[in-house]
Every structure is written in C-alpha cells, then in structure tokens.
Amino acid sequence: MVQATIQDWTESQVLLKYDEHRDVKYRVYRDNGIIFQEIREADDTPIHTLEIPQGMKLDRSSYEVLLRYVLLDVVAA
C-alpha cells in the first residue's frame, strides 16, 4: 500500500442547513493511484471516505466545497 499525502489534515467548520454547522477535519491522499478525501469529526471519529473520480484534479478550495456536499449527503442519509 503506497500512500502519498496531497493535503494534510485540515480543520473546517462546515455550514449545513438552517444555520447548523459541523466541526470536522479532512485530508486528501493518493493510495495506489486513486485519490481519496477522508472526513472525520473533530474528535477523530470517521464520517466518510470519498473516492475522487479519476482525472478530476481539484484545488484546495474545491475540496472544501466537496466536503460540504458530502456532509449534506451523509447527514441526510
């Protein structure tokens, strides 16, 4: 298993619906050529790991936007 960090753990306060927010942290890494965004609660409890589609190159602000959409989807589930 070969892992490379693209973006190290970053803390974020994500605005959800109705003035609710969630304190989380996330990192972006490559594992055997596949890019993942791992999301955890501030206390390190895992929330979700998202596989980023092949060929989808994102900048730092795009990972923040993606983080919000993933959280809205996970919270709604």
- Report the predicted TM-score, pTM, of the whole model to 2 decimal places: 0.81
N-to-C CA span, the chain: 31
Mapped onto helix, strand or coil, the DSSP state of residue 15 is: strand
Per-residue model confidence as pLDDT tens for the chain (77 residues): 678 998 999 999 888 777 778 899 999 999 988 889 999 999 999 999 989 887 766 777 778 778 887 887 776 65
Phi then psi dihedrals of residue 2, to 5 deg: -110, 110
